[in-house]
């Protein structure tokens, strides 16, 4: 468990997983800074959380695709020493497929799912590393492990977030900063309707409350990667072992025999 005085900044806190994260951290006694575009929804959530849990909740409206707004949130993370937990949760998906998605839609996806995640982590990391404490939670997705799901660009952004988190764990872990990647599978939130899909036609969909509660168990365990729907956790451990076993094999002066042609 974290100290109650630590302020938590949560992006995408107006609804879905972010709103549940807000509820759970407020229940644990943490002051909050809520970030998303919809100020009205965040004010309503803030009012409830203040009344229910007696914590300070600030609403910081921002469109993370807009440089000015992103810079304001980043500056807040850089300068406000009370914020020691960042939940990089805001995210979006796109309707359609790679050949129907427009360059403008792709840019928006990258702005929210990639650029904002990196910029905000970068804004807070030096301060956390200097203090020797702090936590960054990055919400990725199992889609980032599954090109087979056919959500190519969205999955690629989530694979990036997983890699980013694992890399930051390696870089910042020894300096006392905890980085967690959370990989939900299909979870009942507005992200599906927002990207033109009907979640009610799908099976195996988790509720947002259960997803976040499970992710916070992983947080309390200080897991580097938390996959709430994966029942057999040895599968992830094996996947990591297989990947890591390849690493020393990459340093070779010569190509593998299968790539050596007779006329070489």
Residues that bind ligand NAP (CB under 6 A): 12-18, 36-38, 62-65, 89-92, 112, 139, 141, 184, 186-187, 189-191, 194
Task: Out of 21, 53, 154, 178, pick the active-site residue.
Answer: 154
Is 53 considered catalytic here? no
Produce one character per residue of 221-231: b if its CB has 16 or more CB atoms within 10 Å, e if not: eebbbbbbbee
Q: Residue 138: which residues within 8 A CB-CB, separation 6 or more?
A: 88, 117, 121, 161, 164, 165, 179, 180, 181, 182
Q: CB burial class (10 A; 0-12, 13-18, 19+) of residue 238?
A: exposed
Give the tokens for residue 61.
């409206």
CA gap 204, 188 in Å, rounded? 10
Nearer to ligand NAP, 3 or 67 (CB): 67
Q: Closest distance between ligand NAP and the C-beta of residue 154, in Å? A: 7
CA gap 188, 200 in Å, rounded? 9
Nearer to ligand NAP, 63 or 78 (CB): 63
Q: Closest distance between ligand NAP and the C-beta of residue 19, in Å? A: 7
Total length of the chain: 264
Query: How many other C-beta atoms lie within 10 A of the C-beta of residue 256?
Result: 8
Q: Closest distance between ligand NAP and the C-beta of residue 128, in Å? A: 21
Give 190-231 as a 3 state SS string. Answer: CHHHHCCCCHHHCCCCEEHHHHHHHHHHHHHCCCCEECCCCC
Nearer to ligand NAP, 66 or 248 (CB): 66
Nearer to ligand NAP, 63 or 133 (CB): 63
Type and span of the H or E element at 71: helix 67-79
Nearer to ligand NAP, 2 or 189 (CB): 189
Q: Closest distance between ligand NAP and the C-beta of residue 126, in Å? A: 23
DSSP letter, residue 28? T
Q: Closest distance between ligand NAP and the C-beta of residue 245, in Å? A: 28
Q: Which residues are catalytic?
A: 154
């Amino acid at each position: 468990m974290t100290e109650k005085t630590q302020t938590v900044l949560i992006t995408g806190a107006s609804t879905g997983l972010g709103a549940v994260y807000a509820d759970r951290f407020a229940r644990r006694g943490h002051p909050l800074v809520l970030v998303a575009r919809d100020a009205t929804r965040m004010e309503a959530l803030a009012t409830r959380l203040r009344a229910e849990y007696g914590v300070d909740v600030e609403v910081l409206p921002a469109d993370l695709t807009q440089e000015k707004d992103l810079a304001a949130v980043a500056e807040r993370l850089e300068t406000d020493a009370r914020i020691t937990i960042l939940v990089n949760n805001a995210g979006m998906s796109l309707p359609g497929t790679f050949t129907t998605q427009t360059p403008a839609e792709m840019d928006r996806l990258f702005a929210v799912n990639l650029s904002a995640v990196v910029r905000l982590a970068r804004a807070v990391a030096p301060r956390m590393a200097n203090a020797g404490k702090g936590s960054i939670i990055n919400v990725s997705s199992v889609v980032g492990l599954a090109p087979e799901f056919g959500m190519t660009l969205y999955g690629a952004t989530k694979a990036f977030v997983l890699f980013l988190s694992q890399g930051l764990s390696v870089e910042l872990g020894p300096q006392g900063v905890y980085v967690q990647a959370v990989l939900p599978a299909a979870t009942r939130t507005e992200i599906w309707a927002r990207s033109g899909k009907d979640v009610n036609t799908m099976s195996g969909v988790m509720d947002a409350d259960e997803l976040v509660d499970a992710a916070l168990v992983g947080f309390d365990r200080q897991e580097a990667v938390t996959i709430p729907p994966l029942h057999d956790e040895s599968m992830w451990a094996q996947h990591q072992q297989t990947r890591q076993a390849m690493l020393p094999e990459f340093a070779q002066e010569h190509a593998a025999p299968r790539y050596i042609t007779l006329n070489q």
